[in-house]
Amino acid sequence: QVQLVQSGSELKKPGASVKVSCRASGYPFTTYAINWVRQAPGQGLEWMGWINTNTGTPTYAQGFTGRFVFFLDSSVSTAYLQISSLKAEDTAIYYCVRGGHHGDYLFAWGQGTLVTVSS
Amino acid sequence: DIQMTQSPPSLSASAGDRVTITCRASQGISNYVAWYQQKPGKVPNLLIYGASTLQSGVSSRFSGGGSGTDFTLTISSLQPEDVATYYCQNYVSAPRTFGQGTKVEI
């Protein structure tokens, strides 16, 4: 079955960087896009952008340019989110999500990775 | 960017009630709307895509409708396990914005 398994929780200091991994299984990795979604504590869902797993081309939503980078290692069916110059307001759960069969809705969700930024 | 406005932000209903959540897009998006359910402390789950297509395995209590700018998610008979926050999302183009969410309580 389709599974997206993310790396574990991270505690980082302001100014540091973090890399979140998302390993996909149960389907051909390059067939479907991977989206990234952020959920700050007690808040709603925020679409960060997506990466074309066939070409490696990322697309970022406004507010997620510059410090946020999506990239792939297709040899291990894994997508990555890297955030640099972390700020307290980056504290959130980050989800990777596979696109759907019939369109770009969010079909299969990873379990989420909590990133906490605190001094 | 397309804005998705959900209403109400929250609602409380009794078990067995029919509940409807609305989502309005700031411009026409045909039927490129999905609905997600997020139970407390859990990962969001796809309920409906294409405005009205029920995702496999989702209870038939849930139904979606609408086209263009106005969309609805209906729970035909609210059950205790439906307590959750529900989100609409446009996926016609990037950015694939979410609505603000509707918290449903019993």
Confidence of residue B94 (pLDDT cuts 50, 70, 90): confident
Q: B85 near B72, Cβ under 8 Å?
A: no
Nearest chain A residue to B55 by CA distance is: A107
Q: What is the mean pLDDT of residues A18-45?
A: 97
Residue A101 pLDDT: 84
Taking an 8 Å cut-off on Cβ atoms, the answer to whether A107 and B50 are in contact is: no
> What residues of chain A lie within 8 A of the CB of B99, using their CB?
44
Residue A22 pLDDT: 98
What is the percent of chain B with per-residue pLDDT over 90, rounded to a whole number? 98
Taking an 8 Å cut-off on Cβ atoms, the answer to whether A100 and B49 are in contact is: yes
Does residue A14 have a pLDDT over 90? yes
Q: How far is B8 from chain A (nearest CA, A)?
A: 14
Confidence of residue A103 (pLDDT cuts 50, 70, 90): confident
Q: What is the mean pLDDT of residues A42-53?
A: 96
Q: A33 near A98, Cβ under 8 Å?
A: yes
Residue B37 pLDDT: 98
Mean pLDDT across chain A, nearest whole number? 96
